[in-house]
Chain A
Amino acid sequence: MLAGKALGGLCLDPQNASPGPFVLGNGDFFIEIPVAYGCSYSDITLTGANGTAMPDASDLIDKAIETGVESRMCTAIKVACYYLEAGLVRKPDLIITSNSCCDAMDTLGNLLNGYKPWADVPKFIMDAPHSFDEESYKYMGKQLRHAVTFMEDVFGRKMDWDRLREVCVLSNKQDQLLLEFQELKKAVPCPANPDLSRLGFAYDRWTGERVSPQITDWLEQLVSATEERVKAKLGIEGVNEKVRFLWQDLAGSWPPGTLWPRLQQELGAIAIMDYMSYCTLTPIDLTSEEAMFTSFGKRFLLEDPMNRQALHTTDFFCNDILQIVKDFKCDAVIMPAHIGHRDTNSRLKIVRDMCREKDIPCLVLGIDIWDKRYMPPDVVFDRISTFFQTTGLV
């Protein structure tokens, strides 16, 4: 029931979700800002990713390929490029772009910024550095602060700073609940479908109800129901848990609905964690405006899923893997190695070597998490099944 509500929220077209000015970006933005300002924010990459989950995804992806931006670009971003070039995206009132989290997003940002029909739309560009130290947080924070000033200049009204603080307090509360649910997932057997972390995050950040009291209610229900299940030592309904694995990538559009349920049902294997599910959010510091924006910057660079995994060093990426395996008692690591992820595909040897050294079974797939035609779900299932068998996990 809870999953259904989140999925329903996700299906709501975020481009039409909120009243007020329409801000379009190529990636995640510090969502508390548009919520507090009273404008909608849509991430065109997310729109592209959602497109790959549609019933006509194959046709859509084929059209995206024909658009011809770059033949091996991430499919979700190709679809986003197609939507843009085909004139299917509502004209925004403001465009905000950054290079996070990858070159393909950068390219999409350039397409957005150079899109001729929108030449008159004001544009704000940010630089996300590939580092996570105090200087970088402040640097990112300053840009986010400048983004607010830019919005004020474009829309002719000031940010309500009290409202922004209210939204941040709500956001902190919701993030705390996400963390609590995450803690509960450490129980063996896992008490609830771990994908609810990912859905919860997405519901909280990407839907029309983002950072609203409805989200808090949803998360409180989730945590409360899960706590009861932990006390009763219950696992996921209908699943005989045998293997817990880390899916070290984005979930994608087809694996959560096609592959993961089958792995649960047939092998008792649950994807305990993926990029989006991994919550590392620290509270937004509200002690001063500078502290607030510095913590926004830290969130953007270090804690925002995908930015966290893609922007930084391989050592950092590997440390996350080890931490998750330890904390969530993972039996294995599966690297989907999505074909559009240049960072992941540049790290495979180091990850494999590390897993071998630490005696962690590791499987690298090489799939397209947005286009199941590239490596069909059945083939992926067989590979994972064989992997689990040969490593003695099932």
Chain B
Amino acid sequence: MKSGLKSAVFEKFVKIACCIINPSIENWRNNGGRVIGYTCSFVPEELFVAAGLTPFRIRGTGSDQSAGMADDYFEAANICSFVRHCFNKILLGEYNFLDGAVIGGGCDANRHIMDNWQKSPAKPPFLHRLLFPHSSGELMANYFCNQLADIKGKLEEHFDVQITDRKLWDAIKFCNEIRDLQKELYAFRKAENPPITGAETVPVIVAGYSMPKEEYSSDIKTLLDELRSVSAPNSKHRVRLMIVGPGHDDSSMCDIVEDLGGLVVADLTCFGGKVIFGEIKENGLDPLQAIANYQVLDRPFCPKNLGAHPHIHKEIFDKIHDFKVDGVIGQNFLCCETWGGELYILNKELKEAGIPMLRIEREYVADSTGQLTTRVQAFIETISGGTL
């Protein structure tokens, strides 16, 4: 990733995002802190923060193209490469620093990380599943609340902590503040010449999942101050694009776009916009219910959720308007039916609205960058009406 940002804190974020274990986590652990891993954005970090644990979102950063050992457990031709690469890193021992993990049931393959991890030599001392409803409604929110209460009990027992309502409300407030800071970061990208590119935004967001929250909060505030004082050079970008789809824990797609004269100004992705653009209401009696209501009823929806599409449609069209998006890149990993279906529907709707969309099915580890580059280049040329 080429970057024009001259910022020590940004460089720190880049270093954290491009590996799994990082100095911030090591420092935290050396001082007696504990870390809990999780998959899927529907696992609420607030629960871990309230328990005094640092949440760490599992990703496959740095995994080999073949996903090596994980292909024994997950059939390579038929399982999403994101899951396989995450599990590969687990089997390689790179997540051995975790004191436990909670596996979210976001999709069929993700769900089975739990079963396979349990049977593997890398099994952590605490490993549980959190089941998410696949639809919205009060009944579903209440069911999810019960699941949260169950996980809360297990965390308290295993880690010998008390997760009080007060601690949960404090954690909710704190995580909401972090989301607000991240929204501020995204807001910079509404400008004609943003001081931060799409490729630069990715490590800032990914670092937020990979280091102690207080440290991240302080660091992102520093970065935001720096960005406010930057007079952004005239960007040579020709089109403003939005990325929609799963993952987005690395900047490879943004790099391709931005090397070709595009600028990624927004996203609705599992590591980015789907998590940031929401807020847990801090005005209830029961914090677990507040979290459950947010996850099931309020937050930017996921296509795993039946009936989510109208909400996703609105999110995307609102972002297209707010960020002055010229075109959308919809990317899903091969074997991801949930996003595959969503992008299929979205493609039709964007076409009807006259908004160009490029649909890409790819592997998590971007091995065919040549093909991707060609397709993105053609897309940008089509939108900008000329050759690069």
Contacts and interface: CB of A to CB of B under 8 A. Distances in A.
> Of A71, A102, A114, A128, which is in contact with the most chain B CB atoms at under 10 Å from its CB?
A114
Nearest to A99: B134
Contact of B135 (A69, A127, A348): A127
A255 B238 CA distance: 54
Interface stretch (B23-31, B44-52, B69-77, B255-263): B69-77
B340 interface: yes
Nearest to B342: A110
B324 interface: no
B134 A127 contact: yes
B116 interface: yes
Contacts of A350: 73, 115-116, 119
A327 interface: no
A70 B135 contact: no
A73 B340 contact: yes
Contacts of B340: 69-71, 73, 107
A343 B107 CA distance: 10
A143 B222 CA distance: 49
B307 A113 contact: yes
Contacts of B139: 139, 142-143, 146
A380 interface: no
Given A71-B334, A114-B309, A314-B115, A130 B105 contact: yes
Given A106-B337, A142-B139, A343 B112 contact: yes
A146 B140 CA distance: 13
A127 B335 CA distance: 22
A103 B115 contact: no
B344 A69 contact: yes
B309 A110 contact: yes
B108 A343 contact: yes
A228 interface: no
A78 B344 CA distance: 12
Contacts of A106: 134, 303-304, 306, 337-338, 341
Nearest to B111: A130
A98 B306 contact: yes
A128 B337 contact: no
A339 to B, nearest CB: 5
Interface string A70-113: 11110000000000000000000000011100111011111101
A363 B292 CA distance: 43
A125 interface: yes
B75 A366 contact: yes
B243 interface: no
B340 to A, nearest CB: 3
B207 to A, nearest CB: 30
Nearest to B119: A350
Nearest to A337: B75
Interface centre among B72, B108, B310 (most CB of A within 10 A): B108
A114 B352 CA distance: 15
Contacts of B338: 103, 106-107
A353 B78 contact: no
Contacts of B140: 127
A340 B75 CA distance: 11
Contacts of A126: 135
A315 B115 contact: yes
Interface in B63-94: 72-75, 77-80, 83
B308 interface: yes
Nearest to B107: A103
Given A106-B304, A125-B307, A129-B133, A346 B341 contact: no
A342 B306 contact: no
B218 interface: no
B341 A129 contact: no
A347 interface: yes
B74 A345 contact: yes
A70 B303 contact: no
A70 B337 contact: yes
Given A71-B361, A73-B337, A345 B75 contact: yes
A389 interface: no
B122 interface: no
A98 B140 CA distance: 13
Contact of B133 (A127, A339, A342, A346): A127
B296 to A, nearest CB: 9
Interface string A117-154: 00000010111111100010001001100100000000
A103 B304 contact: yes
B103 to A, nearest CB: 11
Interface string A58-71: 00000000001111
B73 A346 contact: yes
A177 B112 CA distance: 35
B74 to A, nearest CB: 5
A345 B116 contact: no
A353 B109 CA distance: 19
B336 interface: yes
A125 B310 CA distance: 14
A313 interface: yes
B143 A129 contact: yes
Contacts of B80: 342
A310 B107 CA distance: 12
Name the residue in A126, A345, A347, A350 with the highest tally of chain B Cβ atoms < 10 Å from its Cβ: A345
20 contacts: A70-B332, A99-B134, A106-B134, A106-B337, A107-B341, A110-B308, A113-B306, A127-B134, A130-B111, A130-B131, A135-B146, A146-B139, A337-B75, A342-B112, A345-B74, A346-B73, A346-B83, A349-B73, A350-B73, A366-B77
State the 10 A-B residue pairs at the shortest beta-carbon distance, nearest first: A70-B340, A107-B341, A346-B112, A99-B134, A314-B115, A342-B108, A345-B75, A345-B78, A127-B133, A127-B135
Given A69-B341, A350-B119, 13 more contacts: A70-B344, A71-B361, A72-B335, A98-B306, A99-B306, A107-B341, A109-B306, A125-B306, A130-B111, A130-B131, A139-B139, A314-B119, A342-B79
